[in-house]
């Protein structure tokens, strides 16, 4: 099994950012390839509904 952490250390980060948009900006400033996900709470932020949806999918 490849050690993916060792690969990360060797290659440097190629990132997907989910949440605080500033973190994506900081990575971009340092020349990192980054895709920012415009995230929103699933199911309107109802945790019980989220759990239900996860079970269904």
Output 10 or 56, the one with its CB closest to other proteins. Answer: 10
Size of the site for other proteins (CB under 8 A): 47
Q: What phi, psi does 23 have (nearest 5°)?
A: -65, -35
Pick from 33, 32, 35, 38: nearest CA to 19:
38
As measured in angstroms, the least distance from the Cβ of 24 to other proteins is 6
55 binds other proteins per the rule CB under 8 A? no
Q: Where are the beta strands (DSSP E) in 1-57?
A: 15-18, 34-37
Residues that bind other proteins (CB under 8 A): 1-30, 32-42, 44-47, 50, 54
């Amino acid at each position: 099994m490849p050690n993916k952490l060792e690969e990360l250390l060797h290659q440097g980060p190629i990132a997907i950012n989910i949440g605080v948009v500033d973190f994506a900006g900081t990575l971009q400033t340092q020349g990192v390839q980054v895709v920012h996900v415009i995230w929103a709470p699933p199911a309107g932020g109802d945790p019980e509904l989220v759990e239900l949806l996860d079970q269904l999918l």
